[in-house]
Structure 1
Amino acid sequence: MKKLVFSLGLLSLAFTGCTTDDDENTTPIVPVVGEITGDITANKTYAFGTYTLKGIVKIKSGATVTFDAGSIITADVTSGVDALVVENGGKLIINGTAAEPVVFTEISSTPGSWGGIIMYGDAPIVGAAGVTTATSEDGLNLPYGGTNATHNGGSLKYVKVQYAGKKITDGTSEMNGFSFYSVGSGTVLENLVSYKGADDGFEFYGGTVSARNLISYGNYDDSFDWQDGWRGQNNSNWYAYQTGTGNFGMEIEAKSVNNSFFPIVSNITLKRAAGTLTENASVEYDAIQFKKQGNGEYTNILIDGYTTSGAVAVRIQDALTNTDQVNGNKLKLTNVKINGGTTDIGTGSSSFTVSFPAGQFTTNSTAAGASLTTGAWSTVGTTNLIQ
């Protein structure tokens, strides 16, 4: 196979298109140019090319949308609110590769310019007061939650979402780079990048889906965030690099419900560049915060650069989380390496102290964190995202 390289105007992004060989003759694959808008109600494949995303595009129940490797999809903040939404029952298949990822971006390269990728399912959630269904906080006001633990919303492989995290309506409804509402374990999430969004890099709202090989780079709020009793069991290689503006590396909560289950994540790197500030001068500057009964099992963690005065590596925000999750052996962090002199553990107040049971919090000077292979998928412009 030979490669044809061409550039995409203002974005200066490069496509690589395949060719076909017949003896000495070479026929290049011509990239498609098109527009994506409105509701998608039937199966649709977007061949390798460059597309404009206009408005909130919804993949409706029963429809499967496929994107070929190397495609670039561009939103435009001047056209209104843009987002790609997979409704419950719809499927999104993105067939990127390490050398030819599928890129979703925005023409002005301004964080917060569009809504990113939002996926809905009907996997279980446990919301506030134990409810099993809830309404989304992305301004779309769609229901999520159900009983289908193996819900399948498709397969996202080698996908970059850039400059998302739009705040809409009254400014309190927010979208992230990737938002997963009650998405199930039948969904594949691998080698995904959330780059310079104005909210969270990745957020899970309940569900059972797992994700492997994630990069959250330069997102204004939390690199990784979840709530509503998310319980993914096979998560690995999560890498966060906070620069410029950023809050928690990981914010973990469970809507104040003391669940008997928890997520499992291995191989985590959380890095914060010198001079990085929190949004609106908040005190959300810790590497990991657990609150409202947040729990989970985490191993092989590298924490580096969280040296702001008052910051800690792991903060247990409230007394009930300490009592039920720490003391109840439902919160475990092992093989943790903390660089930069950051205090290991802190609390949200002086009304309680944290003492992990034996074996539930351990440090290890050789912990390496996430292990990712670099390539076009982990690069934006000339910046290698794995610092």
Structure 2
Amino acid sequence: MKKLLVCIVMLSAFFTGCSSDDESGSIPPQTGEISGTISVNTVYPYGNYTLKGIVKIAAGTTVTFDSGSTITCDKATGDNALVVLNGGKLIVNGTSSQPVVFTEASHLPGSWGGIIMYGDAPINAIGGVHTATSEDGNNLPYGGTNPLHNGGSLNYVRVEYAGAKLADGTKENNAFTFYSVGSGTVLDHLVAYKGADDGYEFFGGTVSATNLISYGNYDDAFDWQDGWQGQNNSNWYGYQTQRGNFGMEIEASSNNNEFYPVISNISLVREAGTTPEVAGDVQIDAIQFKKEGNGHFNNVMIDGYGDYTEGSTVYNGAAVKIQDATTNENQVNGGKIQLTNVRISNTSSEISGASPLISVSFPQGNFTVSALSPGAAFSPGNWSTAEGVNLLQ
């Protein structure tokens, strides 16, 4: 009798385990259309969804996407973007093996507006003002006094083929755009893939980001202005191929701020043969500082920012380009631009001024090179693979 009971218990456990495994493995993906303004808390389970139009997450509303989901828009239907309004939250629960992918049907760069998030963290915009109007086609105000603003959490998210010009045809968008987003927001393991503008752009705010990949974006891999001051950034990787401008374009809207962002573990790579986005507008340096842009950077790897020939003119790429005399005086000489443990290869010059009149000389210890600096380091997975290609080259 005891043996019989033991067998029954074992068989019950076996079938229960099998049932559970089979059930989870056979759950079909959900489907549906996402459109309009979402004003009710909504969870999108694992599935394949269609995003149609300029979808907005309203203030007081949380929208969640489960791991493994794919959200596809189609430029043939008109302008498309996912916009998180100030006070709204976007929660994306991707994983390394099951990222959440936002893509576009044609697979062409510049086909939609990407993910745009608004907050009310501090900014310092042109003229020293603390509010401004967005340049994404939505024409919304941004900037405030809440450094802890929380717009949600984006984990293991890939945005593909963004960078569309919305509204009037001149408002370019990035894969990820952050307007005055605060430090309560989590940005981790994100991929900006083959967009027609920047991979990531920060307009002020205090948010930090970790484990970022910017791959094959036409403009800059990373860009910021309006006094962005994220302090806990690490593991940023920019890979420019075929067409691309600066690895990093850094400005502070012509304000001599006392603060600066801090980033560690950076890799910027420009593939041989990559051309600037627009002929005649030669932007080929790894890191450009202008309009009082600044920052402290440690463990930086720069490769491939060499000479570029257009017509009969040869342009020299630089690891670091200081674009104007004011930035040189206030930010370089003032110690608010620091780059330490920098490894440079296949690049025409280490440091350059935009003209012979700008002679750049960093204070001692503020620019140091090291042949051993590895730059960014990642654990690859499905999250870092697109179109069958491992993006961590």
Same fold (TM over 0.5): yes
Q: Does 96-105 or 336-345 show the bigger shift?
A: 336-345
8 Å Cα contact 2:318/2:347 also seen in 1: no
Higher helix proportion (structure 1 or 2): 2
Distance in 2 of aligned mates of 1:75 and 1:171: 18
1:168 Cα deviation (Å)? Answer: 2.4
SS of equivalent to 1:24: helix
Residue 3 of structure 1 is matched in structure 2 by none
Cα deviation, residue 23, structure 1: 3.1
Quick check: 101-110 or 24-33, which moved more? Answer: 24-33
Q: Is the 8 A contact 2:65 2:92 kept in 1?
A: yes
Normalised to the residue count of structure 2, the TM-score between the two structures is: 0.92
Deviations 1:254-298 (A, max 9, x none): 000000000000000000011101011221110000000000100
Q: Which residue of 2 aligns with 1:161?
A: 159
Amino acid at match of 1:297: H
Q: Specify the code of the residue in structure 2 equivalent to 1:298.
A: F
Q: How many angstroms does 1:169 deviate by?
A: 3.3
Q: Secondary structure of 1:266's partner?
A: strand
Note the 1:294-313 alignment, pairs <5 A: 294-308=293-307, 309-313=315-319
Q: Which residue of 2 aligns with 1:354?
A: 360
- Aligned-partner Cα distance in 1 for 2:104–2:323: 36
- AA matched with 1:208: T
For the residue of structure 1 that corresponds to 2:278, the secondary structure is: helix
Size of the alignment, in residue pairs? 368
Query: Are 1:317 and 2:316 an aligned pair?
Result: no
Corresponding position of 2:286: 287
The AA in structure 2 aligned to 1:344 is: E
| Larger-gyration structure (1/2) | 2
Q: Which amino acid aligns with 2:354?
A: G
Equivalent of 1:370, from 359, 365, 376?
376
Are residues 1:137 and 2:138 paired? no
SS in 1 for 2:127: helix
Amino acid paired to 1:306: Y
1:196 aligns with 2:191: no
Normalised by the length of structure 1, the TM-score is 0.94
* Shift, 1:341, TM fit: 4.3
Letter of the 1:155 counterpart: S
Q: CA deviation at 1:190?
A: 0.0
| Long gaps (5+) in structure 2 | 1-14, 308-314
Aligned counterparts of 1:325 and 1:130: Cα–Cα separation in 2: 17
Greater than 3 Å deviation, 4+ residue runs: none
Shift of 1:340: 1.1
Of 344, 352, 367, 2:350 maps to: 344
Give the letter aligned to residue 351 of structure 2: I
**1:348–1:171 distance in 2 versus 1, CA, 3 Å:** farther
Secondary structure in 2 matching 1:240: strand
Question: Do the aligned residues in 1 keep the contact of 2:316 with 2:348 (CA within 8 Å)?
Answer: no
Q: 1:253 aligns with which of 251, 254, 264?
A: 251
Match of 2:118 among 103, 117, 120: 120
Aligned to 1:233: 231
Find the aligned partners of 2:18 and 2:108 in 1 and give their Cα distance.
Answer: 45
Give the Cα–Cα distance (whole angstroms) in 1 for the partners of residues 231 and 221 of structure 2: 19
What amino acid maps onto 1:24 in structure 2?
A: C
Q: Which amino acid aligns with 2:263?
A: V
Unaligned runs of 5+ in 1: 1-20
Aligned pairs for 1:1-387 within 5 A: 22-25=16-19, 26-27=22-23, 28-281=26-279, 282-308=281-307, 309-387=315-393
Q: Tell me the amino acid that sits aligned with residue 204 of structure 1.
A: F
By how many angstroms is 1:83 displaced?
0.3
CA distance in 1, matches of 2:152, 2:76: 30
Whole-angstrom distance in 2 between the partners of 1:98 and 1:24: 25
- Deviation at 1:349? 1.4
- The more displaced of 39-48 and 164-173 is 164-173
Paired residues of 2:303 and 2:347 also in contact (CA < 8 A)? no
Residue 200 of structure 1: CA displacement?
Answer: 0.3
One-letter amino acid matched to 2:304: G
Q: Aligned partners of 1:280 and 1:102: how far apart in 2?
A: 32
CA separation in 2, counterparts of 1:98 and 1:307? Answer: 34
Amino acid at match of 1:347: G
Instruction: Report the alpha carbon displacement of residue 381 of structure 1 after superposing the two structures with TM.
Output: 2.0
CA distance in 2, matches of 1:345, 1:352: 11
- Deviations 1:298-321 (CA, angstroms, capped at 9, x unpaired): 010000011124111100000000
* Cα contact 2:319–2:347 (8 A) shared by 1: no
Determine the C-alpha separation between the residues in 2 that align with 1:313 and 1:341: 7
**Inter-partner Cα distance in structure 2 for 1:333 and 1:386:** 23
**Alpha-carbon distance between aligned partners in 2 of 1:23 and 1:208, rounded to the nearest angstrom:** 47
SS at 2:329 equivalent: helix
Matched AA of 1:165: G
Task: Choose 164-173 or 67-76, whichever is displaced more.
Answer: 164-173
Tell me, in whole angstroms, the C-alpha distance in 2 between the residues paired with 1:352 and 1:290.
13
